Structure 1
C-alpha cells in the first residue's frame, strides 16, 4: 500500500505539471476586465448601424409634464376648440371646404381671393371668425400668424388691419401667458434651459425699468415672441407690464407686416419683410425705449 501511494503521488507531478506550477502567474484585476468590456460595448454601440444618434437640440430626461398638467392642457385646448367651432357654426353659409390655413404666400393669395367677397358681404362675422382663429393660433403656438397679419393688410388696409392685428396678437399672447402660468414652467425649462436662465438673469437686473426692457424685447427680434410669451410668467413678470409691452411693442413690426399685405402680389418671400434696413429701424426704435434705463445706469456709475 505504501509503494502504491508513492507511485500515485510521483505520477501526479510530472515534469510538465511541475513546470506549469513554477511559471509566474498573471494576476487578473476584475476592475480592468469590466473596464475593457465596457469599452468594447461602447465601441460596438457607436459602430452599429442601428444605433440612433441624437438629431437637433438635446433634450435630457423624460417628457416634463405630469398627468395633471397634460390633462389641464388638453382641457384648455378642447375648450378653445369648442369655442372656435361655435363661431364657425354661427357664421353665414359659405364654401368653407376650400379654405385652409396658409403655409406659403401662394396659399395666402388663394385664401385672399376666396374670402374677399365673403369679408365684404359679412364683415362682422368675418372679423369674428378671423379673430377667433388668430387668437387660437397664438394661444397654442401654432405657426402661421404672420400670414394672418398679411391677410389683414390685404383685406382691410393699413389702419384697420393694424388695429386688428395688434388686438389679436395681444389677446393671443395674453392667453398664452396664462396657459404657461398654469403648466409652462416644466416645459420651458425642458425646451430652453439656458435661454431661460439668461432671461431670468436679465429680468432680475432690470426690475426697476422692466417695462422699458420688455418694450425693447417686443420691438426688436432679440428673443422670439413665442419664448417671451411662455417664459414671462415663469420669471415673474407682472401681467400688466407684459400686456402693455405687448400691445405697444408689437405695433412697429405689425405695421411693417400689414403694410406689406397691401402689395401681396409683389411679395416674393416672407423673409423680404425683415431685411437689414427694416431690422435696423426696429433696433433703433427699441433703443429709444431702453434709453432711460441706460441713462440711469450711467448716472449711477458717475
Structure 2
C-alpha cells in the first residue's frame, strides 16, 4: 500500500519540477504572444523609418544616451521574441547612428538577446533533453564540445541555419557561454555590417524616392557566408578524415 501511495504522489511532483525547469521558455513564449498580438513587429518596417525620419533623427541628436540604450534594449527584445523584423532593425541602427556606431550597438544588442535565449535553453530545455534522451544527447554533447568553436561558427555563417536555432542549439549541446558569446559576436559581424551599411545611406535612398534592395544584399551575402561556414567546419572534417583518423581506423 505504501508503494502505491508513493507512486501516486510522484507524478504531480514530476509535473511541478518540469514546469519549474521550463519557466524560462514559457516566459519567452508569453513575450512572443504579447509582441505579436499588439502588432509591434509590424512597426519594424522601412516605411516607418521613411515616415518618421525627421522625428527619429532629431530624438537621437538630442537624446543620444537614451537613444543608444533604447536601441540596444529593443534589439534584445526583438532577438528574444525572434521577430522577423530584425533585418530592418539592423538597418535602422545604421540610419540612426551611422555605420560604425550602429554596427557596434547592433552586435551588443544581438549578443545580449542571444545570450538570454542561451541561458533560457540551458536552464530548461537542455536539462530536460538530457533526462529524456540520456546517452544520445550525451554523445552529441561530447562531439560538439570537441569542436565547439567550429560548430558554433558554422551555425552563425551558414544561411540555411535559422537564427533562433543558432542561438539555442549550442546551449542544448552543453556549449560554454564564453565560447558562445565570442562566436556570436564575431559570427554576426558580416551580416550586421552589410545591413548597417544600407542603413547609413538610407537617407539618400529615401531622397531619391527609392527603397533599398534587401533581396540583392542577401543574395550577395549568401556565398560569402557559406564559404565562411565551410572554412569553420574544416577542423571538424580534418579530425574525422585526416591522417590520424586513418591511422586509428587501420589500428582497429
TM-score (norm 2): 0.69
Note the C-alpha offset of 1:157.
Answer: 1.7
Q: 2:195 aligns with which of 257, 282, 298?
A: 257
SS where residue 222 of structure 1 aligns?
coil
Q: Count matched residues.
A: 210
Aligned to 2:97: 156
Q: Give me the whole-angstrom Cα distance separating, in 1, the residues matched to 2:137 and 2:195.
A: 27
Deviations 1:57-113 (CA, angstroms, capped at 9, x unpaired)? xxxxxxxx965456555668999xxxxxxxxxxxxxxxxxxx986343222333444
Q: Give me the whole-angstrom Cα distance separating, in 2, the residues matched to 1:154 and 1:200.
A: 45
SS where residue 171 of structure 2 aligns?
coil
- Structure 1, gaps ≥5 residues long: 1-64, 80-98, 189-197
1:169 corresponds to 2:110: yes
Contact 1:102 1:108 in 2 (8 A): no
Aligned to 1:142: 83
SS where residue 223 of structure 1 aligns?
coil
Q: Give me the whole-angstrom Cα distance separating, in 1, the residues matched to 2:221 and 2:29.
A: 36
Q: Which has the larger radius of gyration?
A: 1
Aligned to 2:230: 287
Q: How does 1:122-141 map to 2 (within 5 A)?
A: 122-141=63-82
Change (3 A) 1:102 1:184: farther
Q: Give me the whole-angstrom Cα distance separating, in 2, the residues matched to 1:209 and 1:77.
A: 31
Q: 2:119 aligns with which of 168, 175, 178?
A: 178
More relative contact order in 1 or in 2 (CA 8 Å, sep 6+)?
A: 2
Q: How does 1:190-269 map to 2 (within 5 A)?
A: 204-264=142-202, 265=205, 266-268=210-212
RMSD: 3.5
- Structure 2, gaps ≥5 residues long: 1-16, 32-39, 130-135, 247-252
Change (3 A) 1:103 1:118: closer
Deviations 1:132-157 (CA, angstroms, capped at 9, x unpaired)? 11112212323322221101111222
Change (3 A) 1:68 1:247: same
TM-score (norm 1): 0.59
- More helix as a share of residues: 2
